[in-house]
Structure 1
Amino acid sequence: MIKGLYEAHLPVSNLLNSIKFYKKLGLKIAYQKEKLVFFWIEKGHSWLGLWETDKVKIPYHPSIRHIAFKIDFENLKQAKEWLEKKGIPVRTSFRFSPEKQPLVLPNNPQAHGAIYFEDPDGNSLELITPLRLDFEEDFEMMTLDEWFNRGKVH
């Protein structure tokens, strides 16, 4: 029955500033009203709603105010440079500084490559790709470079 995730929502303090930011990420507006905009993530498959509201003051926690955008593995290798060219800084995550990212997340039996940044309101954003699915192996979180140096394969 469930085929995927169609929509997710984030609070923002200034809709026009947020529209500029998410356009820099390559998202296209699907629908807009005075205090709301929907961006296509993948047209016809998923979109992101941004709501201008004072709820943006809710402190960040991973269970709220977080979106992970799926990318291809090849794009992960270029993600930090791509973000920086757009003036979007990578943020420290899991005690790994921006210089150490992208990271490999040990979600055993999965492994994912990811890089983290924020929108203008401090909403947590992530670019993520699966590296390995359904393979049992315990390991500590590491950089993508360390993953390759250990002989891990995509």
Structure 2
Amino acid sequence: MNGKIVGGVILAFALIAGVSLYYLQVYHFYDEVATETVEIRLTPIHEGAPEPIPAAGIEAIDATSSPIRFRACFTTPLSQALLTETFRLYDGAEPLNAPGWFDCFDATEIGAAIQDGRAIAFLSEESISQGVDRVVAVFDDGRAYAWHQLNAEFRD
């Protein structure tokens, strides 16, 4: 009988720990960012500081627990042609998954679109945090997405 009680207590603690860990990773550390505080900027081809671009309908999340938790969805009236002539492309763009509740950001779709040329990735800001770049991908219909990813300093 005592073994069943001990086993039940261990199982209960494991269940509580699992649910707590899930909640912390998916909900607790993320905060929705006020749209008026988000400015989407891209780095010019020629040297210079990142420049703001027009962005509408911004939805963004971020967390202070990690520099790579930023994700944003928005639209821009600028064409891919204009952007590629003006701003620096980003090689090796790999969108990171967002929590399921932030449903405007689909990393799989964005990554596939970059691979097949439907979306183009640009450097937004280099080393926005140590070893982390902000990347923006723009679709031909004006939909755009931003995220942070590790740069060469921390890869490999």
| Structure with greater helix share of residues | 2
Q: Is the TM-score greater than 0.5? A: no
TM-score between the two structures when normalised by the length of structure 2: 0.31
- Of structures 1 and 2, the larger Rg is shown by 2
| Structure with greater strand share of residues | 1
